[in-house]
């Protein structure tokens, strides 16, 4: 099991077995390089731990624990977890500021304690086979033990809509994900799952609307978060995409160190997807040591195979491609990086939040006028091609979804393709769970009434832990690189959840809080630039004859999806009628994942 995930910890390994318990660990040394090996034991050797991640406030917690009589024999954050558990039991989780998945074996009470961090930065999978509980950081370790890979076809609609498999599910029957903010206790032959953290309950009528207070508080919290995450005994740097989030992190890092920060970015030959010029401007502004790599279609097969190998189940977020390349680039120079991930979720910064504000206003228009606008946009999209056609299709999609209720609009915007086309692709297959049922169950737990805040709930509870953070963890760990995410300090999340949308988004301006807090330090061109994200020019790549073999294989898929509908999608993308690049990538990943079984 440990050998299968050696990429997550190439520096050393360690094992503990006694009676019916076995713990194994692969170490990537970042803190306490000499005495931090695992499994680690309490002084009395009655508590043992294997731990993946970092506890950033371990210095402060160690001082607090020393006052309570605890002694320490290492400088490791792992030993802080052990002593915190001895003092506070499972409540120790609430003391930690960090990212983690850990397993504690309490020998005296014959109890196993599994925990995953609040927002899900670190993964934890588990399965029960023949009355044996298996757990690991990646599915491949469970497979290495002998866990069967039985596909769960019930999740096909969810995958084709979202592009990933949300917790607690995996794409294999019998393998589950411990959800973010949850822990498990295994005692007396029973597995019990409990939640220890959730986003705060907030009265939407009492949300913070003092712009100056929010700006000052946010700046202070983010600055401290960056400071904590720069604690390291190895060289480190930052991913710099050229966007607002990563540039702000680099700005705050540069404020706190004398030596130049190492920064790393990815670019494309296709200029509409490329932000490398902006990244260079930010690098020049803060005098960073900057490294850049251009990604081309020639590396497509390597990227596809890497996604299949490291995600272990279908994962269709194509931004995994540049994330893998930038992680490989960074690992040549550093062992740890800070990233700008999480900014869109914490700050309600995606363009979909602008869409929610627009939908609120659009639905006040008379129905006949809305129908005229949608019809005009549809006609325009049908007679244009290329960039104008993509823009017309997007306008039609926005107008159409803005007339829907929130759940249907959320489903429409999550999908990379029209809902009726997904149903047509799955028409030959039976027994799958409709994505509408999944969303109904999910949103029934949401206490927010305003669609803007409901969207925030979805991002924090689902797309962040199950998409964005999975992507970052797998692609950085694939290259034995640790990634730390300052925007996801739980103090920041808990504070920003309670901030009014009028402060988060002044008018239709994205990330107003971040712009007000950090914007004056950044190049003006960056503040004016449209959001690109970590997008990949897949629509261009899949129009290229060089990938025709892979596209043909999609139409002969092993899972039984409708080949005629898939053929139409490929042709519409090739003819620049629609941008189906990301959806074709999702299908390709799904098909390859099934073939690998």
The per-residue pLDDT for 539 is 82
Give the residue from 251, 299, 320, 269 showing the smallest Cα distance to 472: 320
Task: Determine the Cα–Cα distance for residues 176 and 108; give it in Å rounded to an integer.
Answer: 28
The angle formed by the CA atoms of residues 449, 454 and 458, to the nearest 5 degrees, is 155
Q: Is the confidence at residue 79, as pLDDT, over 90? A: yes
Q: Is the confidence at residue 534, as pLDDT, over 70? A: no
Band (194; pLDDT cuts 50, 70, 90): very high
Q: Is the backbone peptide bond immediately before 168 cis, with ω within 30 degrees of 0?
A: yes
* 3-state SS string for 155-206: HHHHHHHHCCCCCCCCCECCEEECCCCEEEEEECCEEEEEECCCCCCCCHHH
Q: Which two tokens stand for residue 575?
A: 């003819």
The average pLDDT across 458-467 equals 98
Q: Which two tokens stand for residue 260?
A: 């130049």
The per-residue pLDDT for 533 is 61
Task: Determine the Cα–Cα distance for residues 298 and 284; give it in Å rounded to an integer.
Answer: 30
233 and 111 assigned to the same domain: no
Give the residue from 557, 542, 535 showing the smallest Cα distance to 317: 535
Q: Is the backbone peptide bond immediately before 466 cis, with ω within 30 degrees of 0?
A: no
**Within-domain flag for 51:** yes
Q: Is the confidence at residue 376, as pLDDT, over 90? A: no
Do residues 454 and 443 lie in contact, with contact meaning Cβ atoms separated by under 8 Å? yes
Q: Which of 135, 161, 195 is the last residue of a domain?
A: 195
The average pLDDT across 465-471 equals 97
Percent with pLDDT over 90 in the chain: 71
Band (180; pLDDT cuts 50, 70, 90): very high
The per-residue pLDDT for 383 is 64
**Residue 128, beta-bridge partner list:** 133
Handedness of CA 282, 284, 290, 291 (dihedral sign): positive
Task: Determine the Cα–Cα distance for residues 380 and 389; give it in Å rounded to an integer.
Answer: 8
Q: Which of 195, 223, 238 is the last residue of a domain?
A: 195
The average pLDDT across 248-260 equals 95
DSSP state for residue 536 in the 8-state scheme:
-
Residue 53: CB atoms within 10 A of its CB come to 23
The per-residue pLDDT for 231 is 93
167 and 272 assigned to the same domain: no
Instruction: Write out pLDDT tens, residues 387-406.
Output: 676 676 777 777 877 888 99
**Which residue in this structure is represented by tokens 């994942």?**
593
Residue 547: which residues within 8 A CB-CB, separation 6 or more?
A: 297, 300, 541
Q: With both helix axes pointing from N to C terminus, report the angle between 469-477 and 300-311 in degrees, rounded to the nearest 10.
A: 100
240 and 343 assigned to the same domain: yes
Which of 143-157, 188-202, 574-588 has the lowest average pLDDT?
Answer: 574-588
Do residues 341 and 490 lie in contact, with contact meaning Cβ atoms separated by under 8 Å? no
Task: Determine the Cα–Cα distance for residues 108 and 53; give it in Å rounded to an integer.
Answer: 26
Taken as a whole, the chain contains a residue count of 597
Instruction: Write out pLDDT tens, residues 479-503.
Output: 999 999 999 999 999 999 999 999 9
The per-residue pLDDT for 381 is 67
The average pLDDT across 577-581 equals 85
The per-residue pLDDT for 6 is 95
Do residues 194 and 185 lie in contact, with contact meaning Cβ atoms separated by under 8 Å? yes
Do residues 240 and 250 lie in contact, with contact meaning Cβ atoms separated by under 8 Å? yes
Overall number of domains in the chain: 2
**Within-domain flag for 182:** yes
Band (363; pLDDT cuts 50, 70, 90): confident
230 and 340 assigned to the same domain: yes
327 and 286 assigned to the same domain: yes
pTM given for the model: 0.93
State which residues form the domain around 7.
3-195
Give the residue from 189, 229, 234 showing the smallest Cα distance to 99: 229
Q: Which of 528, 557, 578 is the last residue of a domain?
A: 528
Beta-strand pair 132-136/125-129: antiparallel
**Within-domain flag for 394:** no
140 and 264 assigned to the same domain: no
233 and 188 assigned to the same domain: no
The average pLDDT across 521-527 equals 91
186 and 279 assigned to the same domain: no
Q: Which two tokens stand for residue 35?
A: 């005495």
Give the CATH number of the domain where residue 106 resides: 3.60.20.10
């Amino acid at each position: 099991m440990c050998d299968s995930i050696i990429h997550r910890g190439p520096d050393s390994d360690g094992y503990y077995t006694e009676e019916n318990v076995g713990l194994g660990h692969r170490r990537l040394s970042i803190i306490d390089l000499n005495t931090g090996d695992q499994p680690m034991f309490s002084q009395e050797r009655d508590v043992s731990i294997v731990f993946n991640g970092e506890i950033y406030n371990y210095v402060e917690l160690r001082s607090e624990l020393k006052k309570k009589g605890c002694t320490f024999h290492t400088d490791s954050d792992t030993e802080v977890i052990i002593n915190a558990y001895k003092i506070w039991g499972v409540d120790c989780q609430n003391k930690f500021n960090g990212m983690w998945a850990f397993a504690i074996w309490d020998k005296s009470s014959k109890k196993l304690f599994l925990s995953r961090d609040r927002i899900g930065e670190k993964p934890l999978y588990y399965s029960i086979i023949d009355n044996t509980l298996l757990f690991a950081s990646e599915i491949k370790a469970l497979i290495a033990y002998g866990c069967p890979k039985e596909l769960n076809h019930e999740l096909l609609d969810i995958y084709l809509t979202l592009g990933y498999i949300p917790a607690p599910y995996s794409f294999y029957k019998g393998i589950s994900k411990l959800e973010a903010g949850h822990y498990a206790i295994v005692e007396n032959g029973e597995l019990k799952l409990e939640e220890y953290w959730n986003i705060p309950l907030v009265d939407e009528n009492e949300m913070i609307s003092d712009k100056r207070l929010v700006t000052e508080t946010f700046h202070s919290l983010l600055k401290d978060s960056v400071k904590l995450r720069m604690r390291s005994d190895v060289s480190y740097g930052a991913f710099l995409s050229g966007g607002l989030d990563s540039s702000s992190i680099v700005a705050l890092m540069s404020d706190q160190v004398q030596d130049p920060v190492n920064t790393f970015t990815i670019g494309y030959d296709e200029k509409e997807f490329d932000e490398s010029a902006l990244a260079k401007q930010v690098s020049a502004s803060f005098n960073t040591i900057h490294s850049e790599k251009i990604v081309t279609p020639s590396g497509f097969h390597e990227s596809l195979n890497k996604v299949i190998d490291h995600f272990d189940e279908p994962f269709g977020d194509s931004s995994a491609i540049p994330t893998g390349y930038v992680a490989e680039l960074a690992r040549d120079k550093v062992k740890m990086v800070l990233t700008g991930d999480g900014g869109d979720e914490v700050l309600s910064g995606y363009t979909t939040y602008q869409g929610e504000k627009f939908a609120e206003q659009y639905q006040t228009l008379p129905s006949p006028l809305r129908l005229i606008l949608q019809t005009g946009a549809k006609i325009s999209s049908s007679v244009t091609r290329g960039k104008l056609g993509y823009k017309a299709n997007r306008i039609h999609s926005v107008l159409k979804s803005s007339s829907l209720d929130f759940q249907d609009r959320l489903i429409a915007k999550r999908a990379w393709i029209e809902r009726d086309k997904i149903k047509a692709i799955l028409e030959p297959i039976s027994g799958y769970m409709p994505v509408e049922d999944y969303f109904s169950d999910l949103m029934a737990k949401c206490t927010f009434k305003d669609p803007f805040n409901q969207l925030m709930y979805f991002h924090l509870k689902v797309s962040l832990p199950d998409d964005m953070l999975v992507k970052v963890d797998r692609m950085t760990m694939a290259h034995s690189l640790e990634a730390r995410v300052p925007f996801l300090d739980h103090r920041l999340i808990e504070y920003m959840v309670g901030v009014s949308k009028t402060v988060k988004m002044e008018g239709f301006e994205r990330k107003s809080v971040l712009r007000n807090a950090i914007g004056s330090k950044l190049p003006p061109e960056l503040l004016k630039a449209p959001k690109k994200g970590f997008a990949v020019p897949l629509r261009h790549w899949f129009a290229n004859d060089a990938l025709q073999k892979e596209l043909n294989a999609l139409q002969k898929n092993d899972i039984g999806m409708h080949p005629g509908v898939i053929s139409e999608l490929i042709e519409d993308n090739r003819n620049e009628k629609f941008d189906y690049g990301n959806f074709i990538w999702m299908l390709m990943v799904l098909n390859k994942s099934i073939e690998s079984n």
